[in-house]
Amino acid sequence: MRAMYFERFGERPVIRVLPDPAPARHGVVVKVDASGVCRSDWHGWLGHDPDIVLPHVPGHELAGTIVAVGSDVARFRVGERITVPFVSGCGRCGECRSGNHQVCPNQEQPGFTYWGSFAEYVGIHYADTNLVHLPEELDFATAASLGCRFATSFRAVVDQARTRPGEWVAVHGCGGVGLSAIMIASALGANVVAIDLDPAKLDFAAGIGADAVVDASGDTDVVAAVKEITGGGAHVSIDALGHRATSFNSIRNLRRRGRHVQIGLMLGEDAAPTVPMAQIIGHELEIYGSHGMQAWRYDEMLAMIASGRLSPQKLVGRRITLDEAIDALVSMDRSHDIGINVITSF
């Protein structure tokens, strides 16, 4: 199979012909029809994820067709269209038995704990626990875009933040995660403030549901701007980027008893951010992380897509080749692309 491959962190990947995967007894092999290029892949390429063992094939946002099935798999068959959350639970531990596969202590992640989906084929483990059947009307590129950013945002906004109609939601960062959160919060009837440095991204955010925008470039006091727009602070605030400044501002712009959700990964030099602890205590703020979404929770999200309340296809940006994905990956920290780059040609 053709795959993107690197042998050293931070070194430009190459395209190699590698052996096709074989299914584990509890897993499947998927022909990859689409794979999103995500900031998490960029972090992994730089060596920020301790799970990655070199050499490596990245990629974790995928959709495709099953081409081989392990002997112990009961719920899935060759030829079925599937996607998978980027966190794969073991299905046997206490967290998985309670339905919280996204924090399974034995979790596996394609593109991190083993080779991923920037390839023609990828093996997926514990298929019965983790695979999601795709509706026929959902195209592969849109389905791939759900796997990390959109699904993570869905759980963050719906389950972790418990967003209610009429509340103010501030979203810091209008990349794929942030735009997903904006669309989802708006669909729930919330009022959304989008914050970013890029005017083009803010214009796009306004077009998919943001009620107000804050340009965080220059000398803008983001916290003051959000508090003025929301009449005292957001009920819910989300750091969709993963930076010391956005995380701090997201907590600071909350009203009393507000809820902060950290979606953006805090890695490298941002791994130990400053937090306004006096405000957290004095205002009884709630601080949550959000790490993916369980396969069983996809049903509600897919139902909202089918009904037209959510339109994740609007967040799919460029459809690119596997070869073009190399530049998309290594330049992600400098990218001004709006929406999600999705590999659709291998």
- Read off the CATH number of the domain in which 189 is found: 3.40.50.720
β-bridge mates for residue 53, sequence order: none
Q: Please check whether residues 204 and 234 belong to one and the same domain.
A: yes
Full domain range(s) for residue 100? 2-149+293-345
- Read off the CATH number of the domain in which 108 is found: 3.90.180.10
Q: What distance lies between CA 240 and its chain's CA centroid?
A: 9
Q: Please check whether residues 25 and 137 belong to one and the same domain.
A: yes
The helix/strand/coil state of 324 is: helix
Q: Please check whether residues 243 and 304 belong to one and the same domain.
A: no
Residue after which a domain boundary falls, among 273, 289, 305: 289
- pLDDT by position in tens, the chain (length 346): 999 999 999 999 999 999 999 999 999 999 999 999 998 899 999 998 899 999 999 999 999 999 999 999 999 999 999 999 989 999 999 999 999 999 999 999 999 999 999 999 999 999 999 999 999 999 999 999 998 889 999 999 999 999 999 999 999 999 889 999 999 999 999 999 999 999 999 999 999 999 999 999 989 999 999 999 999 999 999 999 999 999 999 999 999 999 999 999 887 788 889 999 999 999 999 999 999 999 999 999 999 999 999 999 999 989 999 999 999 999 988 877 787 899 999 9
* pLDDT recorded at residue 267: 77
Reported in sequence order, the residue ranges of the chain that DSSP labels E, i.e. its strands, are: 2-5, 14-17, 28-36, 61-69, 81-83, 121-124, 132-133, 168-172, 191-196, 212-215, 234-239, 254-262, 286-289, 316-321, 340-345
d(CA 256, CA 91): 38
pTM score, two decimals? Answer: 0.92
Nearest to 121 by CA among 13, 35, 25: 35
**In this structure, are residues 27 and 70 in contact, taking their beta carbons and an 8 Å threshold?**
yes
How is 170-222 classified by DSSP, letter by letter?
A: EEE--SHHHHHHHHHHHHTT-EEEEEES-HHHHHHHHHTT-SEEEE-STT--H
Tokens linked to 12:
């430009």
Q: Please check whether residues 47 and 62 belong to one and the same domain.
A: yes
Number of domains in the chain: 2
Q: Please check whether residues 285 and 298 belong to one and the same domain.
A: no
* pLDDT recorded at residue 268: 78
Q: Please check whether residues 244 and 322 belong to one and the same domain.
A: no
